[in-house]
Amino acid sequence: MKNNLAYHIPVMLSECLDGLNINPDGIYVDVTFGGGGHSRAIHERLSEKGRLIAFDQDPDAAKNTWNARNFDFIAANFAYLSNHLRLIGVQQVDGILADLGVSSHQFDEITRGFSIRGEAELDMRMNQNISVTAADIINNYEEEELIRVFRNYGEIQNAHKLVRSILTRRSNGKVQTTTELMDTVAHCAQKRKENKYFAQVFQALRIEVNDEMSVLKDFLNQCEKVIKPGGRLVVMSYHSLEDRMVKNYMKRGSITGEIEKDFFGNILKPFTEIVRHPITANEEEIENNSRARSAKLRIAERNGE
């Protein structure tokens, strides 16, 4: 049982394992299995009484699984976490790990359309059973819908200019490939910062295609019920939209950051942060794995007895 490093290099592996505070006899969930790097390391720390459950909606990820009596792989989106756990007889677990975003494999597999490094169809679906692709969004969304996507999910300041360029281009024919999209919007980017701008554009489309913000919201809202008191929630995010949502949930007890208090003025929240500030990768790891550069790791423990 070896890590498939060609598929995905696990980011901040030791920090994630330490954050989970693994009980060898406990039940743990990796909701973003990918190449299985984090999952294998968790599984190696479990006894025969322990159990690991992994989720991934990408069919390619299933190729990285292994056979073990105490390992279950669920080919599903982690938005349906609690339902699938109930189906296999699990009510609560001792810890959950979520490594959000796109795997190295998905970026490197140019045909998936996630990368700005080569030409491919504008796809960007993590689950190939989803009907809407990035091309559908680019070619069919109305102006205001496109502005919402790029402003909210790409945090693009000149979203109006960007969208006008897309509308002008598609009036002469559909935008079908990644390079066609980049050629269309290149003049909207600052000189020598084109790649950063393209990355923001692609991020926005990917989030919309896969409904990532809603999925993360649904997942977090299930963690209070699924994780046992004293259990750990470990979440690694790669952009500010994800990190803000995770931070609000762990720190303030709600996705929006609104604080609810009891009669005595105590903040009502299901988790307590183990680290007040996000953990980031060291320079050595960043040098070996550039994807780690933007990673922020947050850890919280379930309140209660």
Q: How far apart are CA 24 and CA 237, in angstroms?
A: 26
Homologous superfamily in CATH for domain 119-210: Putative methyltransferase TM0872, insert domain (1.10.150.170)
Instruction: Give the closest residue to 278 by CA, choosing from 253, 246, 303.
Output: 246
Task: Supply the pLDDT for residue 6.
Answer: 47
Architecture of domain 13-104+212-302: 3-Layer(aba) Sandwich (3.40)
Residue range 219-270, pLDDT digits in tens: 999 999 999 999 999 999 999 999 999 999 999 999 988 888 888 888 789 9
Percent of the chain with pLDDT over 90: 79
Per-residue DSSP letters for 242-267? HHHHHHHHHHHSSSS----B-TTS-B
Structure tokens at 88: 């296999």
Q: How far apart are CA 55 and CA 95, in angstroms?
A: 14
The structural domains of the chain, with segments of one domain joined by +, span 13-104+212-302, 119-210
